[in-house]
Structure 1
Amino acid sequence: MPPTTNMFSAFKKKNVLITGISGFIGSSIAKRLLDHGVQVSGTIRASSQLDKLKEVENEIDFHVLDLENEKEVENLFQKVAPDYIIHAAQPSAYDLDRSSALQHQLNTTSKIAINLLESVRKHSPKRMVHCCGSAIYGRKNTSPFSENQELKADSARGLVKLQERNLMRYYAHKYDVPVTLARIFRAYGPWDSHKKLIIKSIKAIKNDASIPLSSAPFMRDFIFIDDLVEGIMRMCLSDLPNGTELNLGSGHQYSAKEIVEEIEKLMGKKMNTSEASFPANFLDKLAYQADLNHIAKVLNWKPRTSVTDGLRKTIDWYSQIQDNA
């Protein structure tokens, strides 16, 4: 792969617009771009929490708006004139089993996707990358998951993400809109959610606390956030056909037990756990990993960070913010 620094230098004097910039993925992309002197704009809601961007808050051109509002999105494009758009605004992963919540998310994400696509169609930026997810594969597909598999979304979140994906592909093929889609597996790293396994485990070990842990041997493909950011930005610069979809994962899979054991080894301390059962999760599979052959072929990309190194960096970050609290 070409040096990362050279890749990010291609964005200098360009304007990158990030939807969902206050979230884990959006904020990580923003900070990496700012490190290389790139002009960054981002959309937020009035209620958005900017804790992940506290250190760089004054360097970002924030726009408070409703992405469901067509006129507000169009005005945004006129003001910002983005060269690249990264659509990282994510639907809620919670309570989607309620029919009203599912209907709301389907309507909301569709409106947002169409509004963005229409503005991209009108203003012709260089490229938009849509942050999709691996939930669109469904549990009935076989791992490793490859981009040419039939999509069998069988969860509420999978259905929401699949509908977004279908809209992106429709505009790419019907109107030649320059959008590519990143099928993102389980991202982790600094500023990940405290509700997720890795941060929750680090916090528990630090505080001598106990957390419930399932003994079920379900697997996940964990990709370190720095690798994910590099993959997304490489997609921005690509000349791939519009509508191209690429997996972004580590190409390896781990159970929750294996992740916790690695964290324990790195921290030199055992975690207190209690065996528990959890409600079925749409990602629960005995095998769950990304096939990276296609992205390696068309973008010459592969993740650089092992799970050991990624967890070590995450632990170091958590220790630092705890010391500075």
Structure 2
Amino acid sequence: MRTALVTGSAGFIGYHLCARLLADGWRVVGIDAMTDYYEVALKDSRLAMLMEHDTFAPVKARIETPGVLHDLFETHRPAAVIHLAAQAGVRYSIENPESYVEANLIGTFRLLEAMRAFPPAHSLLASTSSAYGANTQMPYAETMQADHQMSFYAATKKSNEVMAHSYAHLYNLPITMFRFFTVYGPWGRPDMALFKFTKAILNDEPIDVYNHGDMKRDFTYVTDLVDGILRLIEAVPGSDGVEGDSLSPVAPHRIVNIGNSNSVQLLDYIEAIEAATGRTAEKNMMPMQPGDVPATWADASLLQHLTQYKPKTQVTEGVANFVAWYRDYYNV
């Protein structure tokens, strides 16, 4: 039985990924700090479901704490590492940038050092579509230059990509960075648009619509993202590339988009929520928020070339699934 180490295991994406790994026969070591950035009860509920599996080993700790990851790697010797732990959120990075330094920069450094000491067969580290920053050419391809990040959150994630490349080169560590695009679905975070919009609409409260609704996102359903990650575990970066590859010429390191390859207008997304809730939203039209970008759109052809997989869930289906989960979880 292979062992996977998942950081951020009680998070939105981490929970879904761990559940799938366990169902697929992996032993999973999950580390999560269970911070109060959003309601801890939601994390507790996710963790409780994972702990029903005998092959899941939970660890409550901060990844930036010296020695924590080193000791976990020494004890469990994971074959695969999926690094999801991070301080998330574009807007919160303006309010509390130091938390992003600690979790995203120092935490990822601790992970890279542990990987250097006890090399896994493959490590997959989460990045973000926000790394494309001020780029206006779309769809975004991994081979594009991405040097003008628009938020401190994005800057820390782009820094993670560069840090990981140096370790991949220096220590021959196979590393895939995956840039995900506006992930949504059941068990999502309360600070994300879908959660906030659904909660407000069901409570007959207005919603804040930024840039007066003139925004587009490549919304990616969480199980599609997980499917992509699982397939990438087996696509270990080596010396042979594929069409459109971002494989480094000097390291076993590549960057892969995981997105739906379909940019959806924000107002259409809100319409899908209205249809799923059976209610009409009262919209407060607001200006663009600092650090935000007007549009994202993934070119996911590299993912398809590497794994023969393409995300497929449509927004109407994914939103309806989230609303059904929300009503059930909160007894609405």
Judge which range, 307-316 or 42-51, deviates more.
42-51
The equivalent position to 2:326 in structure 1, one of 302, 314, 318, is 318
Paired amino acid for 2:273: I
Judge which range, 84-93 or 183-192, deviates more.
84-93
Query: 1:122: Cα distance to partner?
Result: 2.5
Superposed, which structure 2 residues align to 1:179-194 within 5 Å? 179-194=175-190
Query: 1:95: Cα distance to partner?
Result: 4.0
* Match in the other structure for 2:196: 200
* Match in the other structure for 1:230: 227
CA contact (8 A) 1:197 1:256 kept: no
CA contact (8 A) 1:106 1:163 kept: no
CA distance in 2, matches of 1:146, 1:293: 9
* Match in the other structure for 2:115: 120
* Match in the other structure for 1:10: none
CA contact (8 A) 2:86 2:100 kept: no
* Match in the other structure for 2:245: none
CA distance in 2, matches of 1:266, 1:45: 34
Superposed, which structure 2 residues align to 1:301-316 within 5 Å? 301-316=309-324
Say whether residues 1:253 and 2:254 are aligned partners: no
Deviations 1:14-69 (A, max 9, x none): 11111111211111111222333432111122646323223233433112333223
Deviations 1:210-262 (A, max 9, x none): 22223241111110000000111111111333211100111111222110112
CA contact (8 A) 2:232 2:306 kept: no
CA contact (8 A) 2:129 2:296 kept: no
CA contact (8 A) 1:221 1:290 kept: yes
CA distance in 2, matches of 1:280, 1:230: 32
Q: SS at 1:97's partner residue?
A: helix
* Match in the other structure for 1:34: 22
CA contact (8 A) 1:21 1:44 kept: yes
Q: SS at 1:132's partner residue?
A: strand
* Match in the other structure for 2:171: 175
Say whether residues 1:244 and 2:249 are aligned partners: no
CA distance in 2, matches of 1:222, 1:315: 15
Q: SS at 2:274's partner residue?
A: helix
CA distance in 2, matches of 1:211, 1:154: 24
CA contact (8 A) 1:87 1:131 kept: yes
Say whether residues 1:96 and 2:93 are aligned partners: yes
Deviations 1:85-118 (A, max 9, x none): 11001124344336xx435533553332222222
Say whether residues 1:129 and 2:124 are aligned partners: yes
CA distance in 1, matches of 2:330, 2:134: 38
Paired amino acid for 1:291: D
* Match in the other structure for 1:140: 135
Judge which range, 222-231 or 303-312, deviates more.
303-312
CA distance in 1, matches of 2:25, 2:302: 31
Q: SS at 1:296's partner residue?
A: helix
The equivalent position to 2:158 in structure 1, one of 162, 165, 185, is 162
CA contact (8 A) 1:77 1:119 kept: yes
Aligned residues: 308
The equivalent position to 1:63 in structure 2, one of 59, 64, 68, is 59
Given the two structures, how large is their TM-score scaled by the length of structure 2? 0.85
Given the two structures, how large is their TM-score scaled by the length of structure 1? 0.87
Task: Name the Cα RMSD after superposition.
Answer: 2.1
